[in-house]
Structure formats: structure tokens, C-alpha cells
Amino acid sequence: MTDAALKAQLEELRTTINEHNYRYHVLDQPSISDAEYDKLLNQLRAIETEHPEWITPDSPTQRAGAEPSPKFAKVTHPAPILSLGNAFDEADLRAWFERISRLDERVRKASFVAEPKLDGLSVVLHYKDGLFVQGATRGNGDVGEDVTANLRTLRKLPLRIPAAAGGPKPPADLFVRGEVFFFKKDFEALNKRQSESGERIYQTARNTAAGTLRQLDPSITASRALTFYVYNIIAAEGKIPATQWETLQYLQDLGFPTAPESVLCKDLEDVVAAYKQWEAGRDALPYEVDGMVVKLNDIGLYNDLGVVGKDPRGSIAYKFPALEVTTMLQDIGVNVGRTGVLTPYAMLEPVEIGGVIVKQATLHNFDFIAEKDIRIGDRVLVKRAGDVIPYVIGPVLTERKKGARKYKPPAVCPVCGQPVETVEDEVAWYCVNAACPEQIVRNVEHFVAVLDVVGMGEKIVAQLNAAGLVKDVADLFSLTREDLLSLEGFADKKADNLIASIEAARTRSLHQLIFALGIRGVGWVMASALSAKYRDLDEIAKASTQDIDDIEGIGPNIAETITDWFAQASNKAVLKKLKKAGVWPRSEPRKAPSGPQPFAGLTFVVTGTLPTFSRKDAGDFIEARGGKLAGSVSKKTSYLVVGEDAGSKLDKARELGVPTLDEDALKQLADQA
């Protein structure tokens, strides 16, 4: 193919991908599958790899974070980025309406636009000739911080407008304002990863979004699922819509995401009705809001009313009642998770928050209790946001009573009584007893999932446990057909199929069995490393902490966790039962990889979700080319392979100066080496 034809194909791919991005991220109407989309993106990347001189800033491939910046440059906004006055009830709203009506009688016949008051970080985006050239935080309203590189990582942000074919021609110079924030599900997923890795839990989505956008390393921003909506045109060269409602539609036509919940209200009574509806349904919204923004629809009238202080007269924030209350902390309880993580929770004097009676709230972790100096008997501030579990913000120190007791974390598991362990540099506390009753059901669920026991889901595991048939993972292999037929819901065929599936699980590899045991910190990669060095579970049980620490990718903390797990009497009993049941695989010596070995001498760690590779695929790809896989980042790590939603490993790599690769760069490295 000639260069001219290849370049034409490149432009066509960019146009097509931008169109699909617009349909997926803005309209929520995808027209192709994820696999088809990935195929198009890979074709584009292949051309750009062959001709790097053709890469442009607006290419769909240019989403990954750039190199860390030493500091943020300052950006002067083209017009003041104003704040909003507040109305805390209907009386405040009507008083605002009367004030601006006295200034201009046109207000009494005006329509309004009601938009969600998003709880995030305000940003200003600059487009020149349709190309995204700069993005900045609001800052002090006149001058903000340049966060262009970080904003480029947001999937919803169009790098060129219009984002879809047939869209309106944009002004030659355009500044728009929007809000960067987390969807609730993405913030919860981030905190789940933090908790599972024993790291600190983020308390508020808004502060976390702001901190994420203002990272000096854009790759950290890229690893977290930030999103944004646009709602205003700040400045433009050329004709723009005359009303706010038309502006929102115009912005969407250009390719910007806007809040779908926004509504046009014909008068103030419509605004009041919309507010009541939103307040009743606020928990169902996919993001956090603390009210609605009411704007005059007529932009000319809006501008004529001017500004008072830093608040435009033509709009106001109509706030929802606060979902924060104070109540008495009566005691602190502790939950035990599948991996043994102990999580404290507050036992509260019942209190109503947003129409819901709250008796318990999360306390995040034991370090949080100590840092906030939360004491039993304190009056504490509790927040409930949407469907998120209520959480304690901190104590009300001015109301602390003399008898308030300092809390001491448990020395033993509150369920099984086994000693609790902590790991250096982690905030989590653990029960390492695999036979702990609180952990059994979840341990068995993990075990059967890894060993691919078909037909045994969460409900059946709970049913077996409740019947006393499965008290640990080894009990699965002593189940009989008669045992299953004695349970509700089991007939001959179902029982036979499950017994056959359990029998098949006896033959799984040592690698799989190690992972299935659910040893804290031992994932697929570490299980592979252990099965490569040791022939069976007996050999691992006899290994010293130092022996295990010597394995590439296993640090001293995890090595100690592994030896502690094998030293527990209850875990020894489980292993003895597995061996007696014949579930005792032995690993075979690894065959030396054949073919070119471009990764010989290199150690890789994989984190996050890759576009086309599963975690196993990535490992196979690396090992087939002579590379080593490790489960954690250290100074010995050659490269960290990063996908979406990368967690603490990315932070560790940045701290140690370990270079990062995405999936395409990994493949290119294999070709170039």
C-alpha cells in the first residue's frame, strides 16, 4: 500500500473511531462490540507505529498519560469562572427569584434550566480549530492550573470536535466549562481495590476526583475511572446558541457529554416540582449531587443581570438537605472478610439520615480510628451518600464526654479466636486462619471458581455449609451423591453433574491449587512462581521465609504471610485432608521456551485490565519470549505492564522509577528486541 493510501486509511480509522467514541461515551448508544472497537483501535495503532511522524494530538490513541510534569503551569482564563449563590429551601429560591425580578421584569416570564449540581472539580477546556489544546482547573476563578495531560486521559473528553461526522462546525476558538467527577460505581471499585491491597480508603468522591486530576503523573489519572460533563460555554469566536437549553444540545452535538438529567422548566413552579422529584430520586442517580443548579434559560437576560461578588445573579444552587448527622458511637464491631481482612464498623445510636434509619456505619480501618482519635462514647459525624454504606467522618470533639474510651484493635480474630496479624506498610489487619467460620463460605466460593467446579455457585456453597457438609475446602472432596440428594433443589442429574465436576477438580495443577487456597497476597502470578520452584505443597510448607523471599517478585511481607499460613494448625489440617483425598498435584519441571527470547533477563509485572490480553494471556506472552513474571513491583522489576484501573502497583512503579508499558508497547518491545 502506498503512503498516500495508508494515510487515507489512517484518517478514515480516526474518523470512524471518534464516531464510535461519541456514540459510546456521549450518546450511550454503541453500534459495535468492544472487540470490534478494539480491532479498529489496534489497526490505527499499527499504522501510527509504522509512521510515528503521522501521530497527531487528536488521535484516539493519544489517551495514555504522558511523562510526569515537575509542576503545573498557570493558565489565565478568558473570563472569570464564577461560583454560585445558594438557596437552602423553597423560601430562599423564591427570594432569589424576587430579587432578580425587581432588577429586570423579563425574569417573571422567563424559563429556566435545572441541572444537577455535580460534586466534582470544575475545569475549563480550550479548543482551537476544533482541536483540544489546553485544560485547566478553576483555581481562584481568574487563574487555574494546567492539567491538559491529565484531562487527555479521560475517555469521554473529545480530543477533536465535532466528535462525530455531520456535527456542527465548532467556533475557531472555544472555551467550555465542565465538571470532573467519579460515578458512584467507579469510586466504590477504586476503594475496593484499595481495601484488597491493604491501602487507605478514600473518604469522599469529590476530593479523590480533585486529587486524581491534579496528579503530577498523568498515568495515575489514567488508571482511575474519572469522567466529566460539560455545561457552559465560557467564550467563543463566532455565533453560539442564545439559550442555555440550546447550548446543552449544541455541546452534545459537538461531542461533549452533558448531564442527561437536565430539564427545561417553563417557570419557577416547574423548577420547584423538578427539585422535589430530584430530591426523592437522588439516591438513584449514578453520581453524587448535593442539589440542582437553576439557570435562566435566556443567556442574554442572564448576562444583563450581571454579577454580585463572584456569583452570577442569573443562576443559583438550590441545595438538597444535608445527608450528614451526628449521633452517639455506642461501640465498635469487627467484620472478617474472605481473605481474613478485619474491618471495623461503628455501632450507632439509631439516627435518621435522608429518610433511612442508620444503626451502623463503616470506620474504614483501624488506622483511621487512631488518626481521627475516635472513641467509644463520642458523638460522631456520620454521612450517607446514595446507596453507599454510611460512614463515620470523625468525632465532634466539642461534645466529647469525660468517659469516652479509646479503642484498641483486637489481638485475636473476633470469630475464631486465632491471633491477628498486621503487615508492615499496610493498614489492614488479618485473621490468617483459613478455617475461620466467617471466611469459610467465601473461601470455598473462591476455591471452586479457581478449580472450575461447574455448577457450584454461591447459593449451593452456602447451602452445603449450613447443612454441615462443607466446613473447609477439603470437605468438597468427601461429598457423596447421597449428601447432595439430601439437600433441597437437588435431583439425580444435578447431583451427578456436580460430583463429576468435583472429581475433575482433583486433577488441577499445583499452580491452580495454590491460587485456589486463597493465601492472602498470592494471586495467579505468585502461585505460578511458587509452583515453578516447589514440586508440591509439602515442599512449600517446609520452605523458610528467606527461601520464599528469594523468588523473583515475592517480597519479605508476602513471604512471611505464606510461611505463616502453612504454619497455622487449622491450615495444616486442611492440607492433610486434601492429601488424603488425593488432591495433591505435583508440578513438572518447566520446559525452556523455544523460539526467539527477546525478554530474556527481564522481569515483568502486569496490573489492570488490558485491551485484548487476559492476565494469563499476558503472562504466557511474556514467558514464551523468555521473560519472568513477578506479582509485585520492586527494584528488580524491568517493566510494569499497565492496563485500565491499575492500582497501587502503578504508584509503586512511579516511586521506584520502574518504566511502564501498555499492551501495544509490550508487543512492540517484543518485536524490537
Query: Cα Rg for the chain, rounded, in angstroms?
Result: 29
Q: What are all long-range contacts of 198-202, with beta carbons under 8 Å and residues at least 24 apart?
A: 198/341, 198/423, 198/426, 198/427, 198/428, 199/426, 199/427, 199/648, 200/364, 200/365, 200/367, 200/368, 200/427, 201/364, 201/365, 201/368
pLDDT score at 430: 86
Catalytic residue chosen out of the listed positions 39, 71, 74, 117: 117
> 407-411, 479-483, 550-554: lowest mean pLDDT where?
550-554
pLDDT at 68 over 60: no
- Contacting residues for 98 by C-beta, under 8 A, at least 6 apart: none
Stretch 19-36: mean pLDDT, rounded?
62
Confidence of residue 580 (pLDDT cuts 50, 70, 90): very high
pLDDT score at 590: 60
Stretch 244-259: mean pLDDT, rounded?
95
C-alpha 134/C-alpha 453 separation (Å) is 52
pLDDT at 432 over 90: no
- Contacting residues for 387 by C-beta, under 8 A, at least 6 apart: 184, 283
pLDDT score at 70: 47
As a whole-number percent, the residues of the chain with pLDDT over 70 amount to 92
C-alpha 159/C-alpha 11 separation (Å) is 14
Stretch 259-283: mean pLDDT, rounded?
93
Stretch 318-336: mean pLDDT, rounded?
87
- Contacting residues for 449 by C-beta, under 8 A, at least 6 apart: none
Nearest to 120 by CA among 203, 201, 186, 208: 208
pLDDT at 67 over 50: no
- Contacting residues for 97 by C-beta, under 8 A, at least 6 apart: 107, 268
C-beta separation of 228 from 181 below 8 A: yes
Confidence of residue 592 (pLDDT cuts 50, 70, 90): low
Confidence of residue 388 (pLDDT cuts 50, 70, 90): low
C-alpha 661/C-alpha 213 separation (Å) is 21
Q: Which burial class, exposed, middle or buried, applies to 540 when counting CB atoms under 10 A from its CB (0-12, 13-18, 19+)?
A: buried
pLDDT at 10 over 80: yes
C-alpha 445/C-alpha 337 separation (Å) is 13
Nearest to 471 by CA among 480, 462, 458, 459: 462
C-alpha 233/C-alpha 659 separation (Å) is 39
Q: Which burial class, exposed, middle or buried, applies to 507 when counting CB atoms under 10 A from its CB (0-12, 13-18, 19+)?
A: exposed
pLDDT score at 673: 56
Give CA 381 to chain center in angstroms. 26
φ/ψ of 111, rounded to 5, equals -100, 165
pLDDT score at 66: 37
Q: What is the pLDDT of residues 304-323, one digit of tens each?
A: 999 876 779 999 999 887 67
User: Per the structure block, which three cell numbers stand in for 645?
Assistant: 484501573
C-alpha 197/C-alpha 215 separation (Å) is 21
Confidence of residue 64 (pLDDT cuts 50, 70, 90): very low
pLDDT score at 20: 77
Q: Which burial class, exposed, middle or buried, applies to 12 when counting CB atoms under 10 A from its CB (0-12, 13-18, 19+)?
A: exposed
Stretch 510-528: mean pLDDT, rounded?
87
pLDDT at 462 over 90: no
Stretch 380-406: mean pLDDT, rounded?
83
3-state secondary structure of 229: strand
CA distances (Å), 100 to each of 93, 296, 307, 609, in order?
Answer: 11, 10, 11, 52
| Domains of the chain and CATH, by start | 3-54 (1.10.287.610), 82-319 (3.30.470.30), 324-406 (2.40.50.140), 437-580 (1.10.150.20), 603-672 (3.40.50.10190)
Stretch 5-27: mean pLDDT, rounded?
78
Confidence of residue 424 (pLDDT cuts 50, 70, 90): low
Greater pLDDT, 501 or 383: 501
Instruction: Give this prediction's pTM.
Output: 0.53
Query: SS3 letters for 175-201?
Result: EEEEEEEEEHHHHHHHHHHHHHCCCCC
pLDDT at 69 over 50: no
Q: What is the pLDDT of residues 172-229, one digit of tens each?
A: 999 999 999 999 888 888 888 777 666 667 767 777 888 888 877 777 787 788 999 9
Q: Which helix (H) or strand (E) holds 134?
A: strand 131-137
pLDDT at 125 over 60: yes
Most confident listed range (184-198, 312-326, 481-495, 516-530): 481-495
Q: Is residue 591 annotated as part of the catalytic site, yes or no?
A: no
Q: What is the pLDDT of residues 91-108, one digit of tens each?
A: 999 999 999 999 999 999
Confidence of residue 26 (pLDDT cuts 50, 70, 90): low
